Amino acid sequence: MKIVVGGAGGVGKSIVGYLSLGNNDIIVVDENSENLNEVAKEYDVQPVLGSISRPDIQENIGMKDIDMLIAVTESDEVNMVACQVAYSLFNVPRKIARVDSEYFLNPLWNTLYNEKSLPIDLIITPDIEIAKFIDDLLNFPGSTGVFPFLNDTVNIFSFRLQTTEFPFIKFSLNHINQKLHELSAHIVLIVRGNRRILPNSGEDIRLQRNDIIYISCFSEQNTEIMRLFGVDHNPYEKIVIFGGNSISYYLATQIEKNNNMSNCRIIEDDAQVAAKLAEKLNSTAVITGEMMSDVILQDSGFATADVSIAVTEHDKDNMLLALLASRNKDTQAISLVNSKDYNLLSANLRDNVIIDRSVITISAILKYLRKARIREAYSLGKGMGEIWEIRLGEDSVNLGKSVAELKIPGNSEVMLIARDDELIYDFADIRLQPDDKLLVYVTPDNIRRIEQIFYL
């Protein structure tokens, strides 16, 4: 696919990093030569200096032959104009724009984004997406990821198995899944270090400490199932957020609506930023001062917090704060990073969750990147694969087939079939029907093959 990314800042770079793993021709356009050079040194892309909103720049890069424009500069107006130019002059089929301003995001103006007005196929707001992801984690204490499917009725959620003291430790994965069947739940994936283990691999799989387990179930069952595996966190009441930015603002507004979370504090070292944030929030306390200061940490109640959330712009600061939080007996740490290199440290920090910005951002646009009929999709991390929700229409070439006849490559897998109000995990005697919903795990090397399987 030929893709133009407008903007080589933090968001643009994270998107390029993910796209570069696939079979894509990528052009990056930015007015900042330093950002552009940094991206070009790290990834195999064509850098172009200039504004993505200018018609002459788009013409020079051959926009008429481009499959997709992803405009993610720090200016909402530039991103929107870039999509308009790409559509009006070059007929680019897919156009995605980053829009951060709450004024443009107001539901009153939803009719603005169409072919007759502003031809934008998808609007993404990375900071809101990250805040939503963290909010889901807060609502399911102990989880490392919550991925909603089927209109939020079904979740695939993950958690790290940090203890070997749970009832299933001596049993095979097949035996555990038989027990979970009573709850319409299923272990659908295990990540062990850099290895991905599928339940139907034919191995005699036994769970190990530090495995990251992905379980599918109806949404209301998450907490109950985690308790079966010894993951029994109390609800989060005291929350400390480091970094006064859009992420912390959106997250704090959600926390203020949650009656179970009684105490939220944000620490920001810039006095002006902190003052503006305090004006917009109601019950959230905003503390100004150096984040690593013993006095500030004490004033924020950091030592007794249930969860520490670091969303500053600096990876090293976020990881250092996670390290400090891990010294507190009952504090879970959530850290936002832009580099996958920091994921290697997560296993060494107790109860630590690392959120890769690029993974959240790319998940918001995955269904527009893929050529299959995807209703929802999430990335599990760079190189870790994706989960697609696919609905079979009346015209699908797969109707009447068995799952085996789909010929899914061996290291990818159909995780479940949702039919009516039932979650089906045993596909042996199942023939696919119209309106079946499939959740499919797709490895990076199988993307093109599985796109072909589910193209119609």
Say which residue, 291 or 104, is predicted with more confidence: 291
User: What's the pLDDT at 341?
Assistant: 56
The arithmetic mean of pLDDT across residues 15-29, rounded, is 88
- Do the two domains 2-124 and 238-340 of this chain adopt the same fold? yes
Tokens of 17: 């990093």
Please determine, for residue 362, whether its predicted confidence score (pLDDT) is greater than 60. yes
Lowest mean pLDDT among 131-140, 166-175, 255-264, 426-435: 166-175
Across the range 362-378, mean pLDDT stands at 86
Q: What is the pLDDT of residue 168?
A: 75
| Model confidence at 227: pLDDT above 90 | no
Q: Are 1 and 25 in contact (CB under 8 A)?
A: yes
Query: Given pLDDT bands bounded at 50, 70 and 90, which one contains residue 357?
Result: confident
pLDDT of residue 162: 76
What is the model's pLDDT at position 347?
Answer: 47
pLDDT value at residue 161: 84
Residue 151 has pLDDT above 80, yes or no: yes
**How confident is the model at residue 256, as a pLDDT?**
92
* Beta bridge partner(s), residue 439: 389, 416
Task: For residue 26, list its beta bridge partners.
Answer: 3
What pLDDT is attached to residue 107?
67
- pLDDT value at position 150? 94
DSSP string for residues in 398-422? TTT--TGGG---TTSEEEEEEETTE
pTM of the model: 0.87
**pLDDT at residue 390, rounded to an integer:** 95
Segments making up each domain of the chain, as ranges: 2-124, 142-228, 238-340, 365-453
Q: How confident is the model at residue 340, as a pLDDT?
A: 56
Distance from CA of residue 432 to its chain's centroid? 29
Strands of 2-6's sheet, edge to edge?
46-49, 25-30, 2-6, 68-71, 94-98, 122-124
Determine whether 234 is exposed, middle or buried from the number of CB atoms within 10 Å of its CB (0-12, 13-18, 19+): exposed
Query: How far, in Å, are 6, 34, 51, 350, 436 from residue 30 at the CA level?
Result: 6, 9, 6, 40, 43
* Closest to 186 (Cα-Cα) out of 213, 209, 224, 147: 213
CA torsion through residues 284, 290, 291, 293, sign = negative
Instruction: Summarize pLDDT for 31-46 with one digit per residue, the tens.
Output: 999 999 999 999 999 9
Residues above pLDDT 90, as percent of the chain: 53
CATH 3.40.50.720 assigned to domain 2-124? The reply is yes
Higher pLDDT, 259 or 425: 425
Question: Which of the four CATH numbers 3.30.70.1450, 3.30.460.10, 3.40.640.10, 3.40.50.970 does domain 142-228 have?
Answer: 3.30.70.1450
**pLDDT score of 115:** 67
CATH superfamily of 238-340: NAD(P)-binding Rossmann-like Domain (3.40.50.720)
**Has domain 365-453 been given CATH number 3.30.70.1450?**
yes
Does the pLDDT at position 437 exceed 60? yes
Percentage of the residues of the chain whose pLDDT score is greater than 70: 93
Q: What is the pLDDT of residues 64-123, one digit of tens each?
A: 999 999 999 999 999 999 999 999 999 999 999 999 887 776 666 666 766 667 889 999
Residue 310: what pLDDT? 94
Distance, CA of 405 to CA of 411 (rounded, Å): 16
Given a cut of 70, whether residue 201 has pLDDT beyond it is no
- What is the rounded average pLDDT of the residues 129-146? 91
CA neighbor of 42 nearest in space, from 7, 8, 72, 11: 8
Does residue 344 carry a pLDDT above 70? no
